[in-house]
Structure 1
Amino acid sequence: MTGIRKKGDRAVSKKAKRVILCVMAAVLFLAAFLYYENNAIGITRFTVGSAKLPEAFDDYRIVHLTDLHSKSFGKGQRRLVGKVGKLKPDLIVFTGDLVDRRKYEAEASVILMRELTKLAPVYYVTGNHEYGENKFKPLQIELERAGVRVLRNQSGMIARGGGEIRIAGVDDPMFNRVEDGNFDKINAHLDAALEETKEAGEAFTLLLSHRPELFEAYVRREMDVTFSGHAHGGQVRLPFVGGLVAPGQGVLPKYDGGMYTEGESAMIVSRGLGNSIIPQRLFNRPEVVLVELTRQE
């Protein structure tokens, strides 16, 4: 005998379908949102003024990248390279964690750096994820072949229109197996780096150093602008609060992203590009930073 469907049964069936459709739509929206948060590149701009800056470097444009962790942004890194190219940088700096120590897959990272050297001079320093001489040495060779200037406790001068500024770069403290404590380690690295250009005296100085929590050391050395990363913007960011947690700083980190100043020193902390232990960013999209230097009388 064929059953008879009642109106109440049909109403329940329609309601169930609506619930299923709503759940599916919510799941698709959440997936799209999480993908966007992890992959849509944002641009953040800062201006740093100084009377020490030579006139020839007025309006000098620096793109700051960090913490790629071997992430790819399209074939040949074209989405990321395209973003950087539109900013027309005079200099590109990369402040560590180009690779991830759990994978150490260097192909995507080397491709990015090779493409960036076609846009402007590229300077790079190590992060904690590069640590391991047996792994890092081959990567360093590849980067130098690509035309990247790898600064390992070194410094040099950048010339432009008759003026010069200094650029210094230090290894992450992980590479120092002699001194105790990260401040002692970074100070030893700074000693070695600045010794190379001591004849430059009080020249306007850019410093590349992976760890923002060591800002006090950079201030004491009177670094004019320090570029740093490591914090990943706190990974998850809350409105009006900021980042939740960062390595080396713990919960509610002080230096999670943005520009910080103390005296005549400024530090630019990029929220970075990739992920490591936690695979998802939230309210914290991958970031390209543009810093414009201006001369102040």
Structure 2
Amino acid sequence: MKKWLVVLVVLAAILYVGNKTIQTTEIIVDSKKIPANFNGLKIVQISDLHDATFGENQARLVKKVKHASPDLIFITGDLIDSNRYDLGNSLDVVEQIVEIAPVYYVTGNHEISTNDVDHIKSKLLDLGVQVLSNKEQIIEKSGERIRIIGIEDPLSGVSIADALSKFKKTEDFTLVLSHRPEAFQDYVDNQLDVVFSGHAHGGQFRIPGLGGLVAPGQGLFPKYTAGLYEEKDTKMIVSRGLGNSVIPVRVFNTPELVVVTLRAK
């Protein structure tokens, strides 16, 4: 009986640490299209917070972001959770990180599901966040430029393919924030350079050697759950995210902050 109790305590400790510790994953993206003046640009990606809390006033999460010293911060949806909607808790993070670097945001399916998405966007705009709802923004540096595109979650009623079709093709190196990794082929077909995505929660339960077990939009043994995927000239970075939603725990799947550095070839 005591042995079983010890086993249960150890398993509980592993699950707690595995759901409350934040892992930083560093990815380098190199391309001939990256302008020389953007060489070394660092981006922190926050995805799928789902109203999770990491320390008092989100101190542990904010500390991780600060430590990365980003030039830009991308929030790729599901900042809140529609099942336990607590906008104030998630805005606590945003209020602090807007002081670190410019913040760009796109919706996930949970923001749309609240039926309060306009209010969420308004609050973020008030904090100085760039809300990219099927919009683009050009960043210039010493005469050179890159483009940032944000795709609204398709639960809003506009498919990702239709949203992307409205953007003109340019020679600018293009970074895209889009919540859904299962739309990878749409990103490839539109010849996008780098897509930042989330939604899959790393497959929720990660099986060593096999990957994630289940993901929304992809079902069992999903293809796109974590890390870097490449096809032709398109790269997609999928964050495992930070929080949980319907399934309340992760297994072998630590909450993740992604740090991407651009390298000009």
With normalisation by structure 1, the TM-score equals 0.86
| Contact 2:213/2:220 (8 A) holds in 1 | yes
Q: Does 1:259 align with 2:228?
A: yes
2:132 aligned residue (151, 168, 183): 151
Give the 5 Å matches for 1:153-232: 153-176=134-157, 185-192=159-166, 194-195=167-168, 201-232=170-201
In the alignment, structure 2 segments of 5+ residues that lack a partner are: none
What is the aligned partner in structure 2 of residue 43 from structure 1?
24
Contact 2:106 2:133 (8 Å CA) reproduced: yes
Q: What is residue 91 of structure 2 aligned with on the other side?
A: 110
Q: Report the CA distance between 1:191 and its aligned residue.
A: 2.9
Q: How far does the alpha carbon of each residue in 1:98-149 deviate from its partner, in whole angstroms, 9 at most, with x for none?
A: 1111122111111111111111100000011111474111111111111111
Task: State the SS of the aligned residue for 1:248.
Answer: coil
Q: Tell me, which stretches of 5 or more residues in structure 1 are unaligned?
A: 1-18, 178-184
Q: Please name the residue that 1:54 is paired with.
A: 35
**2:116 counterpart SS class:** helix
Between Structure 1 and Structure 2, the one with more helix by share is 1
1:92 aligns with 2:73: yes
Determine if the alignment matches structure 1 residue 240 to structure 2 residue 209. yes
* Aligned 8 A contact 2:176 2:194 in 1: yes
Bigger Cα displacement from structure 2, 168-177 vs 55-64: 168-177
Name 1:5's counterpart in structure 2: none
- CA RMSD for the aligned pairs? 1.3
Q: Which has the larger radius of gyration?
A: 1
Identity fraction in percent? 48
Alignment partner of 2:59 out of 63, 75, 78? 78
Maintained 8 Å contact 2:82/2:114 = no
CA-to-aligned-CA distance 1:197-225 (integer Å, 9 cap, x gap): x6xx2100000000001011111111100
The structural deviation recorded for 1:24 is 3.2
Report the Cα distance in structure 2 between the residues aligned to 1:61 and 1:110, rounded to whole angstroms: 23
SS at match of 1:139: helix
Shift of 1:159: 1.8
State the distance in 2 between where 1:191 and 1:106 align: 32
Question: What number of residue pairs does the alignment pair up?
Answer: 265
Asked if 1:30 is matched to 2:4, the reply is no
1:126 aligns with 2:107: yes
TM-score by length of 2: 0.97
Quote the offset at 1:265 in angstroms. 0.8
Q: 2:149–2:177: 8 Å Cα contact kept in structure 1?
A: yes
Partners of 1:161 and 1:71 lie apart in 2 by 39
1:139 to 106, 120, 124: 120
User: What is the distance in 1 between the residues matched to 2:115 and 2:155?
Assistant: 14
Q: Return closer, same or farther for 1:134/1:277 CA change in 2, 3 Å cut-off.
A: closer
Per-residue CA shift, 1:253-288, capped at 9, x if unaligned?
A: 110111000111100000000000100000000000
Deviations 1:32-66 (A, max 9, x none): 11101111000111111111111000011011110
Aligned to 1:3: none
CA distance in 1, matches of 2:257, 2:91: 18
